[in-house]
């Protein structure tokens, strides 16, 4: 194994570590939000510093690999993909942090009816599944698994597109729950962006493995 191979292996291990951390942050944010667990929400807020620190370390390691080894072909694509995946994961970490801050601003648990009609829990579960799928795809160098997230994202888009009408109808029946409804719709928007970030990660995995740029293709073409 060459020195470059050793550094690339270490970089991949660091990237898996960041995947684990961000998935944990998103999962804990979900639990804190649905159960109004303020202590768990504060834990997510505190751990955001770890996400940021790991992002900076991985960026620096990528820069060092460029400077010291001048990678080419698939090795170059791997390091470029890691840089972009790093940015997307950090943004998902920001989303988990932001959602957890809503818990601190809400005095009472969210109305179960509101959670049900907005399909928030289903959306959140799907977002975490998507992120877990791309982590496994990255770890196993599996482009097919990575492509699967494009279809799952349809659920997030559907919930998001229906959110305004659902929230408007709910507020008419529950005018005393306007603040809660606004937090829910904001959370839905954030989770929809999580899906977009996850799709970006999937595109980078496919770029690394197959040298295909999917950025401007249709969703149908990306999943084929």
- Could you count the other beta carbons within 10 Å of the beta carbon of residue 166? 18
* DSSP letter (8 states) at residue 111: P
What are the tens digits of pLDDT across the range 50-100?
999 999 999 999 999 999 999 999 999 999 999 999 999 999 999 999 999
* 173-193 tens-digit pLDDT: 999 999 999 999 999 999 999
CATH of domain 3-222: 1.20.58.220
State how far the Cα of 137 lies from the Cα of 67, in Å rounded to an integer.
28
- What span, in angstroms and rounded, lies between the C-alpha atoms of 30 and 194? 13
Per-residue pLDDT tens for 149-165?
A: 999 999 999 999 999 99
Cβ atoms of 126 and 84 closer than 8 Å: no
2: left (phi over 0), alpha (psi -120 to 50) or beta: beta
């Amino acid at each position: 194994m060459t020195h470059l191979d050793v550094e690339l292996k270490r970089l991949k291990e660091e990237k898996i570590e960041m995947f684990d951390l961000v998935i944990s942050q998103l999962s804990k944010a979900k639990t804190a939000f649905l159960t109004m667990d303020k202590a768990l929400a504060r834990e997510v807020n505190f751990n955001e510093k770890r996400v940021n620190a790991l992002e900076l370390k991985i960026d620096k390691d990528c820069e060092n690999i460029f400077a010291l080894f001048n990678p080419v072909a698939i090795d170059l694509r791997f390091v470029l993909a890691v840089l972009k995946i790093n940015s997307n994961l950090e943004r998902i970490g920001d989303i988990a942090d932001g959602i957890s801050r809503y818990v601190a601003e809400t005095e009472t648990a969210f109305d179960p009816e509101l959670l049900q009609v907005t399909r928030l829990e289903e959306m959140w579960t799907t977002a975490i599944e998507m992120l877990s799928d791309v982590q496994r795809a990255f770890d196993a160098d599996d482009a097919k698994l990575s492509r699967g997230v494009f279809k799952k994202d349809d659920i997030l888009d559907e919930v998001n597109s229906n959110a305004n009408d659902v929230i408007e109808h709910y507020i008419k029946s529950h005018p005393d729950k306007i603040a809660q409804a606004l937090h829910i719709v904001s959370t839905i928007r954030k989770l929809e962006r999580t899906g977009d970030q996850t799709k970006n990660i999937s595109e980078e995995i496919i770029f690394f493995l197959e040298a295909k740029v999917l950025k401007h293709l249709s969703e149908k073409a990306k999943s084929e």
